[in-house]
A = this chain, B = another copy of it.
Amino acid sequence: MNEFELINHVRSLNETLGSRVVLPPGDDLGGLGFGPGVVVLAGVDQVIGGVHLPVDASPERYARKVICRSLSDVAAMAALPAGALVTAAVPVGLSADWGPRFADALNRIATQYDCPVFGGDVAAFANSAAPPLVTATVLASPDDSMSGRFLTRSGAQPGDEIWVSGFLGGSLRSDGSGHHETFEPRVGLALAIHRLIGESLHSMIDLSDGLVSDVGHLAVESGVKMTLESDSLPRRGAATPAEALSDGEDYELCFTVDPSVELPDCLDEIPLVRIGSVHSGAGVVILEDGVEVDFSSRGWEHRT
C-alpha cells in the first residue's frame, strides 16, 4: 500500500469522526469545532534527517524547515497562525547543544511568523543510527474574511483559471541554499489574495509534492480536469519546464479563481501568474505550445 492508498484508507474512516470535526483529513489542515462559531484549524508536518534535510544539517535548519512547512499549510487555507507544538527525537550521543540551539531557532522563527511555540516534547532515539526527526503542529484560525467558509482543495470549478505565486522547480539543493530551506511561507500573500477577491478565490493548495501532483489533488478533490500550460510556468533560475512541473517543495500557492476577476501580476511584491484552466472531466493535462503532451512518457513519476 503506497502513501496515496494509505491516505485514501484514512479518508474512508472520515464518516466515523463525528460532528466536532468540521474539516476532516484530506485538506492542508483539519478543522475542529470549539463551541458556537469557533473553529480551530490544525495540521502537522515532519522533517526527517536523510529525507527532508541532510542528516547532519544544523538544528537551525531543522527548526526553520519544520515550522515553515507547517506554516505553508496554514497559508494554503488562507488562515492565521495561532501557535505551534514541536517535537524532536534525536539519536543518543548527538552534541549537547543541539537541543538549545533548536529551541532558540524555533523561538526566533515562530516569533517572526507570530506563531508562538507553546508546547512540545523531546526524546532520544535509543538507536544512535537513527536520524533526527522533528515535527511541528500548527494551530490556526480562519481569517474573518472567510465568513465561515473554508478555502479548500475541493472548490475548483470548470471555467476557473489556475494561478501560482512565485517560481517553480529546482528547489531541492541540499547545501542549505536551496529554496526548500529559504522559502517564506505564503501566509500573508494568501490572506491578501483572499481579501482582494473574496469568494472568487475558489480553491487553493500549497505546492509541496510538485506542481502536477498537487494540481492533481485539486482535480481529484474538486472533481474537475486541470489543464496546465507548460510554456506559462514561472521557472526558478535554471529550472526546466519539466522540473517546474514535477520538482517538489516549491512551497508556493496554487489556486483557482473565477475567470471574471482580474488579478494583479504582483501582490506584496510576489509575482502571480496564470498557468492554466479548469474544465469538466478528470485528471491533469499538460499543454506544450497548445498541444497536449504525455507527461508520464517524459520520465516524470510521482514522488512518494
Contact = CB atoms under 8 A, between A and B. Distances in A.
A17 B116 contact: yes
B129 A48 contact: no
A25 B119 contact: yes
A26 to B, nearest CB: 9
A277 interface: no
A6 B107 contact: no
A298 B240 CA distance: 68
A121 interface: yes
Name which of A6, A45, A107, A130 has the most chain B CB atoms within 10 A of its CB.
A130
Given A29-B119, A127-B129, A139-B40, A87 B46 contact: yes
Contacts of A29: 119
A44 B121 contact: yes
B141 A46 contact: no
A119 B48 contact: no
A91 B85 CA distance: 24
B6 A42 contact: no
Contacts of A10: 103, 120
A15 to B, nearest CB: 11
A126 B43 contact: no
Contact of A30 (B3, B16, B119, B122): B119
B48 A123 contact: yes
Contacts of A99: 1, 6, 9
Nearest to A139: B32
A238 interface: no
A169 interface: no
A220 interface: no
State the oligomeric state as a number of copies.
2
Interface string A111-139: 10010111111111111011101010101
Contacts of A20: 82-83, 116
B45 A121 contact: yes
A51 interface: yes
Given A89-B48, A127-B131, A82 B122 contact: no
A87 to B, nearest CB: 5
A45 B12 CA distance: 26
Nearest to A82: B32
B17 A122 contact: no
Nearest to A31: B118
A118 B133 CA distance: 22
Given A40-B40, A51-B123, A103 B34 contact: no
Interface string A13-31: 1001110110111000111
A38 interface: yes
A262 interface: no
